[in-house]
């Protein structure tokens, strides 16, 4: 599990595609400090398991599903990637709970300077817009961001200068694709409601009406 607060920008050494997926090698420094084989690292918001660690890089094996669901299918040598180590129980949760399980890819539809921030707009599959809420959280390439606006199949976030400088978002242009992970809380609420509406399952005290009463 991660927080969406990027620790370092790494560089792709190699991505070797195979029948089963791919093998990724990333050059970095800070992330390697206390990393061991078997640890989890978020690479552009995708949780990967370290299978090999060297002095200046680490490697991870990617499944076919990961390649298909994320922007990893377009990664090439020397591409910059956001990196974050898994959080510990003593970590500060500066962003929101990010699992590293990408829901879909989005396309940058707009970039607009507004005072001290840059407003970035994204288009995604309309199916996933039900998980996007005004002032809610979303992870873009692993970066925890607050949703500033949303409508139909499009939403936007306001990115402050510090976040731009510390992440690969500063290199993004209109038309670029990004990894999108919606807030997991919304998925659990949806699952609970659907579970309650299934007449063949035991009843629960949690209902749509009770959620409304609690402010959801």
Residues 98 and 143: their CA atoms lie apart, in Å, by 9
Q: Say whether pLDDT at 154 is over 90.
A: yes
- Whichever domain contains 178, its CATH number is 2.40.30.20
pLDDT at site 64: 94
Q: Residue 180 has what DSSP assignment? A: E
Per the CB < 8 A criterion, the answer to whether 42 and 100 are in contact is yes
| Residue 197 tokens, joined | 């509406």
Residue 212 placed within a domain: no
Residues 166 and 164: their CA atoms lie apart, in Å, by 6
Q: Say whether pLDDT at 55 is over 90.
A: yes
User: For the chain, how many structural domains are there in total?
Assistant: 2
Last residue of a domain, one of 42, 58, 85: 85
Per the CB < 8 A criterion, the answer to whether 179 and 98 are in contact is no
Query: 68-110, pLDDT tens digit by residue?
Result: 999 999 999 999 999 999 998 888 888 999 999 999 999 999 9
Residue 13 placed within a domain: yes
Which distant-in-sequence residues (6+ apart) come within 8 Å of 192 by Cβ?
Answer: 204, 206
Q: What is the pTM of this model?
A: 0.88
Average predicted confidence (pLDDT) for the chain: 92
Residue 93 placed within a domain: no
Residues 35 and 77 in one domain: yes
Residue 200 placed within a domain: no
Residues 120 and 176 in one domain: yes
pLDDT at site 158: 96
Residue 161 placed within a domain: yes
Residue 37 placed within a domain: yes
Segment 33-42 shows an average pLDDT of 96
Q: Say whether pLDDT at 209 is over 80.
A: no
Residues 63 and 136 in one domain: no
Last residue of a domain, one of 58, 85, 112: 85
Residue 71 placed within a domain: yes
Residue 94 placed within a domain: no
Per the CB < 8 A criterion, the answer to whether 15 and 21 are in contact is no
Residues 64 and 135 in one domain: no
Q: Say whether pLDDT at 165 is over 70.
A: yes
Query: 117-138, pLDDT tens digit by residue?
Result: 999 999 999 999 999 999 999 9
- Write the CA distances from 157 to 9, 83, 88, integer angstroms: 21, 20, 27
Strand extents, DSSP E, 103-187? 104-114, 117-123, 137-140, 143-151, 154-159, 177-182
Residues 109 and 67 in one domain: no
pLDDT interval class at 196 (50, 70, 90): low
Q: Say whether pLDDT at 216 is over 90.
A: no
- Residue range(s) defining the domain that contains residue 147: 104-187
- Write the CA distances from 47 to 12, 17, 44, 123, 131, integer angstroms: 16, 18, 9, 23, 20
Residues 12 and 59 in one domain: yes
Which distant-in-sequence residues (6+ apart) come within 8 Å of 187 by Cβ?
Answer: 131
């Amino acid at each position: 599990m991660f927080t969406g607060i990027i620790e370092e920008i790494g560089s792709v050494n190699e991505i070797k595609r195979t029948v089963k997926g791919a093998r990724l090698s990333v050059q970095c420094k800070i992330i390697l400090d206390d990393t061991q084989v078997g640890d989890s690292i978020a690479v552009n918001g995708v949780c990967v398991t370290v299978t090999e660690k060297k002095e200046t890089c680490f490697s991870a094996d990617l499944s076919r599903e990961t390649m298909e669901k994320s922007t990893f299918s377009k990664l090439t040598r020397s591409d910059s990637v956001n990196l974050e180590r898994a959080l510990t129980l003593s970590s500060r949760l500066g962003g929101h709970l990010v699992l590293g399980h990408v829901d879909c890819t989005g396309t940058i539809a707009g970039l607009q300077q507004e005072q001290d921030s840059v407003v970035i707009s994204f288009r995604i599959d309309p199916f996933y817009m039900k998980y996007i809420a005004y002032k809610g959280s979303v992870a873009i390439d692993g970066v925890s961001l607050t949703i500033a606006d949303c409508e139909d199949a499009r939403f936007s976030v306001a990115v402050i200068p510090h976040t731009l400088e510390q992440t690969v978002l500063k290199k993004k242009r209109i038309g670029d694709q990004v990894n999108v992970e919606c807030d997991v809380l919304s998925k659990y609420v949806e699952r609970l409601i659907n579970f309650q509406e299934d007449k063949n399952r035991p009843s629960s005290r949690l209902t749509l009406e009770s959620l409304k009463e609690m402010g959801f």
